[in-house]
Structure 1
Amino acid sequence: MQLNELQISDGKILRFTSDLQGLNVIFQDWKEQKWSLLFYEVLAIQSFSVEGEELSHLTISKDDAFKTMTLDYFSDEDPKNFNCYSFSGVWNNNVIFKIVAKDHYLIEAINE
Structure 2
Amino acid sequence: MYLTPQEDALHPFGYTQIIGVFHADVVNTADGNSKPQSMEFLWVRRYRLDSSYRGGFKRKRYHRIEFIPQSDPDAFRFLNPDEVIQGAHLIPAFASGRTTELLSGESIGRLPRDGLEADED
Please state which structure has a larger fraction of its residues in strand.
1
Please state which structure has a larger fraction of its residues in helix.
1
Instruction: Give the TM-score normalised by the residue count of structure 2.
Output: 0.27
Q: Could you say which structure has the larger radius of gyration? A: 2
Relative contact order, higher structure (CA 8 A, sep 6+): 1
